[in-house]
Structure 1
């Protein structure tokens, strides 16, 4: 089953994308900063969400981990 058809899998993919983009921007900021517009701008926007809303992203990661461990 694809992650697009399962809501929990889709949320997991989105959270992992946000966390990955934030980590990449911390290591190499120029890689994401040069693509602020267009299709690759999605990765820059995910990195900004991860930086600005890090508490909420961390809570979502913990909640997703608990739900995957105990309800699947």
Structure 2
């Protein structure tokens, strides 16, 4: 089944996108800062979400890891 049709997989993909964008922004801030609009602006917005809501994002990652571990 595709990740777009399974809600748990969709949430996992969104969390991975946020975490990856935040990491890339911490390593290469100029790359994401020059692409604030357009298609690549999605990554800049995800990096902002990851930076500002990092405790909640980390709790969601832990919750998803536990739910995947218990589910399998």
Same fold (TM over 0.5): yes
TM-score using structure 2 length: 0.97
- Are 2:50 and 1:60 aligned? no
Equivalent residues in 2 for 1:33-52 (5 A)?
Answer: 33-52=33-52
* Structure 1 segments (4+ residues) deviating >4 Å: none
Q: Which residue of 1 aligns with 2:26?
A: 26
For structure 2, the 5+ residue unaligned runs are none
Shift of 1:24: 0.3
> Distance in 1 between the 2:2 and 2:36 partners?
29
What is the match of residue 16 of structure 1?
A: 16
- Give the CA RMSD over aligned residues: 0.5
Between the two proteins, the alignment pairs up a number of residues equal to: 72
Q: TM-score, normalised by structure 1?
A: 0.97
